[in-house]
Amino acid sequence: MKKYNFNAGPSILPDVVLEAAAKAIIDFDGTGLSLLSISHRTPEFEAVLAEADSLFRELLNIPDNYKIYFMGGGASTQFFHIPANFLAKKAGYVNTGVWTKKAIKEAKFYGEVEVVASSDDKNFSYIPKNFDIPKDLDYLYICANNTIFGTEYKCDIDSPVPLFADMSSNILSRPIDVSKYALIYGGAQKNLAPAGVSFMIIRDDMLGKVVRPLPTMMNVNTYVENNSMFNTPPVFPIYVLRETLKWLKAEGGVAEIHRRNEEKAAKLYAEIDRNSLFRGTVAKEDRSSMNICFVMSEGNEELASEFMSFAKERGMVGIKGHRLVGGFRASCYNACPMEAVEALVACMQEFEKMHA
C-alpha cells in the first residue's frame, strides 16, 4: 500500500534528494569515502557549503549585505542564541503559539520582553494585525508559520525596528522580501534537511550589535567569521540541504513551489469547508499553507478515532493533530506531492459517504 507522508517534522523530502544522500553515504563525490566519515575540511565538502550558500541566495534573492551560516542544533537553540546576542534592554515578541511562547521564556533570561501582540485570547487561531510596534525595541520577533495551530503570515510585515523571524516551517515555500528582515532563521527538518542543522540569514549591520561577552559557541560572529566551520558542522544535514536547494531550483524555484503549495492548500481547505464531517480551526485569511489543521464538525466529534483509523488504513501517515490541539493536521511541505493531498481528500469524501 502506498504511503502518504503528512508528518509535521521531520518531514517529507524529495525522492531525488534521498537517492543522492543514500549514494553519498556509500561514496561521497567519487572520493571513495562515505559522506558520514569525511573530513569537513576537504575541498569537496567546502564546495557543498559554498553551493548551499549560493543557492540560498539565488532562490530567496538575498541581498549582498546578508550573511548565511549553518550551526548544529535546531530552532530551539536559537530561542536563547538570539537574545543572548541581541537583547540589550528590551525586545518585542508577537505571541502566536507554542514556539513563540518558548522563545519568550528563553529571552527573559537576557532582558525585558514585551509581548506587543498575541492571539492567545482565541487559542492562537489567528495572526495579530494592526498593532503598535514600540520604537525602543532592540528587535521585533515573529514566528512566520505556526505548525501546531496552523496559522501563517501571508506577507512580510513592516517594522520600524529590526525584524527577526523564525521560518523553520515555511522557508522557501513562498517568495519573501528578505530586505524587510534583519535576521531569518530556522531548523531544517521541515523543508530542507534532516534534523541536526539550523540556518541563519543575518544582515551585516546586526553583526556589530552583539551586546554582551559570550562563550565562543554562542556568539554569532564565531559562525560568520569562520564560514560555519569553527568546529565540525553537521555535515550530512548540510549535504541534504544543498541537494534540496538544487531540487527546488530545478523544479522552477520558489515562485513555482509557492504556486504548487497554494494549489495543494486550496484543494484541501476546500474539502474541509465542503465536507459535512469536518471543519477548520483558524481564521481563513491566516490559514497556513504548510500545516493544515482541522477537526470533526460539531456533533460528529465521536467519529475522530474512527476517521484516524480509516485514514491510516488508506496510507495516510502523520495526520494526527498535535496533542495540544487534537484533531488532524496535514503538513503539506514543499516536497509533499499533489497526489498525497488528492488521496487525503478522496479519503475524507469516502468517509463522509459512509456516514451520510
CATH of the domain at 303: 3.90.1150.10
Domain final position from 193, 218, 250: 250
175, 314: one domain:
no
pLDDT at 311 (0 to 100): 97
In tens, the pLDDT along 27-48 reads 999 999 999 999 999 999 999 9
Catalytic residue among 53, 138, 190, 247: 190
Residues 168, 297, single domain; the answer is no
| Same domain for 269 and 245 | no
Residues 177 and 232 in one domain: yes
Q: Are residues 269 and 173 in the same domain?
A: no
Give the three cell numbers for residue 219: 556568539
Instruction: State whether 104 and 41 are in the same domain.
Output: yes
Both 139 and 231 in one domain: the answer is yes
Residue 152 C-alpha cell reads as 501563517
Task: Answer for the pair 181, 164: CB distance below 8 angstroms, yes or no.
Answer: yes
> Which of 204, 231, 250 is the last residue in one of the domains?
250
Tell me: cis bond preceding 10? Omega within 30 of 0 counts: yes
Q: Which amino acid is at 276?
A: S
Residue 88, helix vs strand vs coil: coil
Domain that holds residue 85: 15-250
Q: What is the largest CA-CA distance in the chain?
A: 65
In this structure, the strands spanning 291-296 and 163-166 are unpaired
Cα gap 200→71, rounded to integer Å: 8
Q: Which residue has the cell 460539531?
A: 298
Active site residue 190: yes
> What does the DSSP assignment read for 92-149?
EEEE-SHHHHHHHHHHTTTSEEEEEEE-GGGTT-S---S----TT-S-EEEESEETTT
Q: Is 262 found in the same domain as 244?
A: no
Residue range 224-263, pLDDT digits in tens:
999 999 999 999 999 999 999 999 999 999 999 999 999 9
Contacts for 163-168: CB closer than 8 Å, 24+ residues apart: 163/139, 164/82, 164/86, 164/139, 164/140, 165/141, 166/75, 166/78, 166/99, 166/100, 166/103, 166/141, 166/142, 168/74, 168/75, 168/99, 168/198
Nearest to 82 by CA among 163, 188, 158, 147: 163
Residues 98 and 205 in one domain: yes
**Whether residue 229 sits in one domain with residue 209:** yes
Report residues of the chain scoring pLDDT below 50: none
pLDDT of residue 251: 98
Residue 315 cell numbers, joined = 496510507
Domain boundary among 233, 250, 267: 250
For the question of residue 247 being annotated catalytic, the response is: no
Same domain, 222 and 330: no
Q: What pLDDT does 1 receive?
A: 83
The number of folded domains in the chain is 2
- For residues 345 and 293, membership in a common domain is answered with yes
pLDDT of residue 179: 98
Q: Is 166 designated active site?
A: yes
Catalytic pick among 166, 247, 264, 286: 166
CATH number at residue 158: 3.40.640.10
For the whole model, what pTM was predicted? 0.97
* Catalytically annotated residue among 53, 99, 247, 264: 99
